[in-house]
Amino acid sequence: MRLNEAKNIIRAQGSGRSIFGGNAPAKETEAFNFSEIKNNNEFILKIKNNQYTDEENVNFALKQNLETLHNRVNELGVAEPIIQQQGQDRIVVQLPGVQDTAKAKEIIGRTAILEMRMVDEERSDPATIEKAENGQLPPGTELYYDRSGNPLLVKKEVILTGERLEDASPGVDQMTGQSVVYLDLDSVGTNIFKEVTRKNIGKRIALLLIEKNYTEVITAPKIKSEIGGGNVMITGMENAQESTDISLLLRAGSLSVPMEIVEERTVGPSMGKENIARGVNSTMWGFAAIVVLMVAYYMFFGVVSVIGLSVNLLFLTALLSALQATLTLPGLAAIAITIGMAIDANVLINERIRDEIRNGMPPQKSISQGYDKAWGTILDSNITTMIAGLALFMFGSGPIKGFAVVLVLGILTSVYSAIFVSRGIVNYIYGNKRTIKKISIGEIFKVENN
């Protein structure tokens, strides 16, 4: 590869690191300082940091960490989180409804880089290990300790990293009963792991977990045979909680650079009490206005519609409680919209019943036809709204997702309450009567019942 082509590739990637040390005249570029170093007929580019590369690296790291933090918070199941960049080197994370803040900080702040390396079996004799502990490391190796405190000489060459993971899940080893982590590698990782295990049967492979200022060997099992299929089991977990936490971190991805928590605030419920009170009051006033209008306009059928609307709110609140959702202002806005949409379905039913009576159909038949003919319109309108709600949930974040969840659940409960609950009440009142001369559906338009 030509040197100019290599430079262009590095510039396109937007980041780089020093490959080889040495002093050589630097060749200035817009974003990088390159030094060309000749070593045994090989040209090596050394990248020196300047104001441009520092900005590039910080921006790249922030973008990567933002994505990783989003994944980790989603794994925690926090309702309506807010994760956004603040300034040039800070990220703000807001987690409403989280009770265990210490656990949340641990999950968010851990670097959690997983690496697989081979143990240097040929130079793991006691004398070499003792020299390594005194700082005399053999070339191409690093010294780490396992969880029992035993030193291990590990080769610097990284075989696999967490980037080759498709999934990670906690579990229990059926043979020993100990907590483990199951890894599923992608196709590239599967082929690499298969080739490495085939060539190193009888040797040990170390799994390293790299944190901010500490690296430990989780486990270093001996390879007994070639391992294909891309399924790997990590043993050495202290308990089930640790296997769950490590699985979460591996699924969400590692932080590209370590992060420190520089400021922490806990916002009590009293600070948002006024806003929540306003949201609840607006919802209640809207509900009360609908009750008055429906009863005045549709008489008994208006009362039935109000009962169905109340059941709708009851079902929606029960679903949100079952999902342990945190009700915030966007959620209250979605509930207010749900009330309007739910009563709209009842208006369609009541007007369809009026139309059937106006056309000369008997009241009993008009009720049946009203519900049957309004069903298609109600279904179509709610399906289109649900599609919009699902799109908000898929592509939105934070408060938008919370709004979408309440909206979609409200659509489901409103359809059920408008069709089945109200119809059940009407059938209970009028269904047992052989003849009905008149039904109480309002006198705004004079209708002569047959």
Q: What pLDDT digit, counting tens, does each position of 149-170 carry?
A: 888 888 888 888 877 878 888 8
Residue 348, pLDDT > 80, answer yes
pLDDT of residue 37: 54
According to DSSP H, which parts of 158-210 are helical? 187-199
Question: Could you give the percent of the chain with pLDDT greater than 90?
Answer: 0
Q: How many residues does the chain have?
A: 450
Q: Is the pLDDT of residue 273 over 70?
A: no
Q: What's the pLDDT score for residue 300?
A: 85
Tokens found for residue 146: 């396992």
Domain ranges, ordered by start, for the chain = 3-48, 110-252, 271-430
Give the pLDDT band of residue 257 (cuts 50, 70, 90): low
Neighbours of 184 (CB within 10 A): 16
pLDDT of residue 248: 76
The CA distance from 168 to 233, in Å, is 10
Distance between CA atoms of residues 337 and 55, nearest Å: 45
- Distance, C-alpha 395 to centroid of its chain: 12
Question: Which ranges constitute the DSSP H helices of 14-153?
Answer: 51-76, 101-109, 126-133
| Rama region for 396: left / alpha / beta (φ>0; ψ in -120 to 50; rest) | beta
Task: Share the mean pLDDT of the chain.
Answer: 75
CATH for 110-252, options being 3.40.50.720, 3.40.718.10, 2.120.10.30, 3.30.1360.200: 3.30.1360.200
Residue of 420, 426, 427 lying closest to 342 (CA atoms): 420
For the residues 23-45, what does the mean pLDDT come to?
47
pLDDT band for position 80 (50/70/90)?
Answer: low
Residue 27's pLDDT is: 39
Residue showing tokens 């000369």 = 360
And the tokens for 371?
A: 């519900």
Task: Read off the pLDDT band of 444 (50, 70, 90).
Answer: very low
- Scored b (16 or more CB within 10 A) or e, 208-232 reads bbbeeeebebbbbeebeeebeebeb
Model pLDDT, residue 256 = 64
Task: Report the DSSP beta bridge partners of residue 90.
Answer: 86
Which amino acid, 302?
Answer: G
CA-closest candidate to residue 257, choices 17, 64, 48, 50: 64
Segment 425-435, tens digit of pLDDT: 888 887 777 67
pLDDT at 119 over 80: yes
Q: Alpha carbon 249 to chain centroid distance?
A: 12
Share of the chain above pLDDT 70, in %: 75
When pLDDT is averaged across residues 31-45 and rounded to a whole number, the result is 50
pLDDT digits (tens, 9 = 90+) for 171-202: 888 888 888 888 888 888 888 888 888 888 88
CB contact at 8 A, 17 and 47 = yes
**Sequence-separated contacts (24+) of 56-59 with Cβ below 8 Å:** 56/14, 56/15, 56/31, 57/15, 58/88, 58/89
Q: What does R_g of the chain's alpha carbons equal in angstroms? A: 33
Long-range Cβ contacts of 39-48 (<8 Å, 24+ apart): 43/3, 44/19, 44/20, 45/3, 45/6, 45/7, 45/10, 45/19, 46/18, 46/19, 46/20, 46/21, 46/22, 47/10, 47/16, 47/17, 47/18, 47/19, 48/18
Q: Homologous superfamily of 271-430 in CATH?
A: Multidrug efflux transporter AcrB transmembrane domain (1.20.1640.10)
For the chain, the distance separating the N- and C-terminal CA atoms, rounded to the nearest angstrom, is 92
pLDDT at 30: 45
Nearest Cα to Cα of residue 327 among 406, 445, 440, 240: 406
Give the three-state DSSP class for 120.
coil
In this structure, which amino acid lies at residue 276?
I
Amino acid 21: pLDDT: 35
Say yes or no to pLDDT of 54 above 80: no
Tell me: the pLDDT tens digits for 280-309?
788 788 888 888 888 888 888 888 888 888
Counts for the chain of helices (H) and strands (E), in that order: 11, 13
Q: What's the average model confidence in pLDDT over 228-254?
A: 77
What is residue 139's predicted lDDT score, i.e. its pLDDT? 87
Tokens 């059926």 — which residue?
174
pLDDT > 70? residue 312: yes
* pLDDT on residue 122: 84
Q: Which of 54-58, 76-80, 119-123, 310-314 has the lowest mean pLDDT?
A: 76-80
Cβ-contact 47, 56 below 8 angstroms:
no
342: closest CA among 366, 315, 369, 321? 315
Q: Which residue has the tokens 């649900």?
A: 386
Q: Scanning the structure block, which residue is given the tokens 């790299």?
A: 210
153-167, 249-263, 352-366, range with the lowest pLDDT? 249-263
In this predicted structure, what is the pLDDT of residue 212? 67
List pLDDT tens digits, range 85-115.
Answer: 777 777 887 776 666 777 677 667 666 777 8
Nearest CA to 398 out of 67, 80, 77 is that of 80
What is the model's pLDDT at position 326? 66
pLDDT value, residue 9: 53
Q: Looking up tokens 């959690």, which residue turns up?
A: 112
Confidence grade of residue 51 (pLDDT, cut at 50, 70, 90): low
Q: Answer yes or no: is pLDDT of 228 > 60.
A: yes
What pLDDT digit, counting tens, does each position of 128-139 carry?
A: 888 888 888 888
The whole-number pLDDT of residue 79 equals 59
Query: What pLDDT does 353 receive?
Result: 85
- pLDDT value at residue 431: 73
Token pair, residue 169, equals: 């899940």
* Predicted local distance difference test score (pLDDT) of residue 26: 38
Cα–Cα dist 151/235, whole Å? 18
